[in-house]
Amino acid sequence: MKDLKQLTEYYYNNGNYNCAETIIRAANECYDLQITQEDMKMFGGFGSGMYAGLVCGALAAGVAVLSKLIITEKAKDNADEVRRIINGFVRTFKERLQGTSCRELRPLHFSVEERCLKTVLLAAEVLDEKVKEVI
């Protein structure tokens, strides 16, 4: 298995993808999620907090990855497990990154030189920890 943080750094720096696109592409490769290139376009609109400074795209993509791994058909089929895992991911993300929205995270982790690289690397770290708990 390839390293999620390394793939995240590669896609962010070399692919010119936003935070959500970066996480979903790196996770797709790392965990063999079998998400098509066409389907990955759905994550483009989550960049920059849905282009409104709202929920961080890296967080949204992380929830999508965990959902793909733990939901068999629909979330209600194993709602307690889904709630526990997703809640744990969001809680850890919020603690480690000190927020969940782009408005909160940008002042803490953004730089002109690296853009949101620090954010996506921290998000990848938290996501990888959660994935290892569930697979």
Instruction: Tell me the domain boundaries of the chain.
Output: 4-134
pLDDT band at 1 (very low <50, low <70, confident <90, very high): low
Give CA separation, 16 vs 7, 12, 25, 75, in Å.
13, 6, 12, 32
Instruction: Identify the pLDDT of residue 121.
Output: 98
DSSP, collapsed to helix, strand or coil, labels residue 111 as strand
Instruction: Identify the pLDDT of residue 57.
Output: 98
Phi, psi torsion values for 101, nearest 5 degrees:
-105, 155
In this structure, are residues 131 and 62 in contact, taking their beta carbons and an 8 Å threshold?
no
pTM over 0.75: yes
Q: What is the mean pLDDT of the chain?
A: 97
Q: What number of H helices and E strands is found in the chain?
A: 8, 0
Distance CA 39, CA 33 (A): 12
Give the model confidence (pLDDT) of 25-71 as tens digits: 999 999 999 999 999 999 999 999 999 999 999 999 999 999 999 99
Instruction: Identify the pLDDT of residue 122.
Output: 98
Q: Is the pLDDT of residue 2 over 90?
A: no
pLDDT band at 135 (very low <50, low <70, confident <90, very high): confident
